[in-house]
Structure 1
Amino acid sequence: MPIDEYSHYFSNGDVKIHYHLYGQGPALVLVHGHPDNEMTFSMQIEEFSKDHTLILPTLRGYPPSDVPLDPEAYDGNVMASDLVALLDHLKIEKAVFAGGDVGGITVQKLAFLHPERLSGLVIFNTPILGTMMHLIHHDPEQQELSKYSLKYIKHNPGDAYDVDFVCRTITDPEYRAEIKEYLQNSPEGGMFYFFRKNFPAPPYGQNIDTSGMRYKMPCVVIWGMQEPYFSDKMLDGFYKWFDQSVRVVVLPQAGHWPWREDARKVNYELRSWLTALESGQL
């Protein structure tokens, strides 16, 4: 069937947001990052729509969702509220949320603000936020790895930017070409405003209060070890942020997009964890 048959919209305030909806069963929400869109999770649709209500939202700032040109519209708390509005729209009390990159930050914000709406949390190659706040301010390696973000933070809507640079770590040439075309046909301002509002920037050396950055639901961290943006130190002492069970899966040959770069293993590991979660074993 044409993919448009799965395409829907909801609103959070005056912002209209797009999503795809598949299957029936417990709700599983997969949230994309930058520079992706919701179809980055195309390799998960068949597997998880068999027995889940699978929901793929397109974040604000990423067409066909609305692109408000106001930096405040991309505050992490505001973007987390979009996910609450999505659940309310679908009359779903709680769901498992999974996210990578920008989506990974957004689902973590949701977990901190509205833990009652999450039955579980999946973090794909995204900074564990409490650890990241320490590393970015005090670790020279992470500061070096994060230099790419400074261009994004300074970007204003309409400024020229290098699409090849933005897409450089997408390892699949065919998919990289698809995303380049998507970016070339999309306004970029909202995408970069997210970095301005949520990504730490110099002056570094600050001590950030991370006491609220705890996870109160069962979690799994799925991490491609060929990660180009975040230090391996992100996994050091990871357990201290988690109040319930946390499973960590490392994939030695995958990078920033493990759900695409090693989809078979990711689907297996995610299925294993979901089965344990939904049977009450976690």
Structure 2
Amino acid sequence: MFVTAKDGVRLHVEAAGAGTPILFIHEFAGNHGSWEPQLRFFARRHRCIVYAARGYAPSDIPTDPEAYSQAIAADDAVAVLDGLGIPKAHIVGLSMGGFATVHFGLRTPERALSLTVAGAGYGAEKAYEAHFRSNSREVADNFERLGAEVFAKTYAVGASRVQFQNKDPRGWQEFADRLATHSDLGAALTMRGVQARRPSLWDLEDELKRMTVPTLVMVGDEDDHCLQPGLFLKKTIPASGLAIFPKTGHTLNLEEPAAFNAQLAEFIAQVEAGRWLPRDPRAISGEIMRTA
């Protein structure tokens, strides 16, 4: 089915299962199909929803560059819930989808039962911010000039993707084949409009400190440019926890689906039991040992 965003863009949506809803938001190099291992697991107990972001077929691919931004990406997730008549859901995002999940929690916290932010951090580190924006524009140019079918062969073997290839060559090949089907225009405009222009997480520090939505942050220990942002989110968001997956790269939900699903299931169970709480104020971060 399709739902309509507030600017008229149509978003392709798929759903499975019944129960408390979970909305999954995909990464730049994936699409709605990237969440299949999660749908097969969580649809046993939850209403699971995935959608193709704008710029990803079969959703609309706007040609106006201003139709793509971080704020629009977060609002599109709300539009999906609105289109399905869902007042609140657990929101789960990977990478680009993880950033959208953070902004969902900042912009519309009343619509989130919880937030799961996985593999989010590229461009967030201040020391790499300008480099990331330049890289993003170069990647966008490559999608336009070479096309997704050709450039996917390069993008899919990035420094935080080879872990997946080494562990699970067949799963990685499915990921790479999916990337090769991306719209050349949609990928370029998404990279320029969403990725290259989004604010650093450090720029959102004051807002994040006030956000009380239960939050799980997940990151692979070989996803180097997400490790420090993951620690930052853990230290900044009051009701947050951090899970670090060993010997793991960026594509967490596909690279380690069993571990990802188990961690997410436990988190959701604790949230629904009312047991995922803000950090105990007695757990003073600067204290090493109590002496008095």
Structure-1-length-normalised TM-score: 0.82
Equivalent residues in 2 for 1:105-144 (5 A)?
105-127=99-121, 133=124, 135-136=125-126, 139=127
Partner of 2:289: none
- Worse-superposed segment, 253-262 or 174-183: 174-183
Measured after TM superposition, the shift of residue 147 of structure 1 is 6.2
Partner of 1:66: 60
Tell me which amino acid in the other structure corresponds to 1:53.
R
- Worse-superposed segment, 265-274 or 167-176: 167-176
- Worse-superposed segment, 253-262 or 180-189: 180-189
Partner of 1:16: 10
Q: Call closer, same or farther: CA 1:209–1:251 in 2, change over 3 Å.
A: closer
Partner of 2:245: 251
Partner of 1:223: 219
Aligned counterparts of 1:144 and 1:196: Cα–Cα separation in 2: 14
Partner of 1:165: 154
Check if 1:151 corresponds to 2:144. no
TM-superposition CA deviations, 1:204-226 (whole Å, max 9, x none): xxx94643344320000111112
Unmatched tracts of structure 2, length 5 or more:
277-292
Q: Call closer, same or farther: CA 1:236–1:52 in 2, change over 3 Å.
A: closer
Partner of 1:261: 255
Partner of 1:174: 170
Partner of 2:281: none
Check if 1:270 corresponds to 2:264. yes
- Identify which of 184, 188, 200 aligns with 1:188: 184
Structure-2-length-normalised TM-score: 0.80
Measured after TM superposition, the shift of residue 82 of structure 1 is 1.2
Equivalent residues in 2 for 1:23-42 (5 A)?
23-42=17-36
- Identify which of 228, 236, 251 aligns with 1:233: 228
The question of whether the paired residues in 1 share the 8 Å contact of 2:219 and 2:230 is answered with no
Aligned counterparts of 1:91 and 1:116: Cα–Cα separation in 2: 15
What secondary structure does 2:2 align onto? strand
Aligned counterparts of 2:138 and 2:73: Cα–Cα separation in 1: 22
Tell me which amino acid in the other structure corresponds to 1:238.
L
Measured after TM superposition, the shift of residue 236 of structure 1 is 3.7
Partner of 1:212: 207
TM-superposition CA deviations, 1:177-206 (whole Å, max 9, x none): 4344444444222223223223457xxxxx
Measured after TM superposition, the shift of residue 270 of structure 1 is 0.8
Q: Call closer, same or farther: CA 1:231–1:257 in 2, change over 3 Å.
A: closer
- Worse-superposed segment, 159-168 or 38-47: 159-168
Q: Call closer, same or farther: CA 1:143–1:174 in 2, change over 3 Å.
A: farther
Q: Call closer, same or farther: CA 1:110–1:236 in 2, change over 3 Å.
A: closer
The question of whether the paired residues in 1 share the 8 Å contact of 2:205 and 2:236 is answered with no
Aligned counterparts of 2:34 and 2:58: Cα–Cα separation in 1: 15
RMSD of Structure 2 on Structure 1 (CA): 2.6
Q: Call closer, same or farther: CA 1:165–1:68 in 2, change over 3 Å.
A: same
Q: Which has the higher helix share?
A: 2
Tell me which amino acid in the other structure corresponds to 2:102.
Q
Unmatched tracts of structure 1, length 5 or more:
1-7, 202-206
**Number of residue pairs aligned between Structure 1 and Structure 2:** 260
What secondary structure does 2:114 align onto? strand
The question of whether the paired residues in 2 share the 8 Å contact of 1:145 and 1:231 is answered with no
The question of whether the paired residues in 1 share the 8 Å contact of 2:28 and 2:96 is answered with yes
What secondary structure does 2:22 align onto? strand
Tell me which amino acid in the other structure corresponds to 2:236.
W
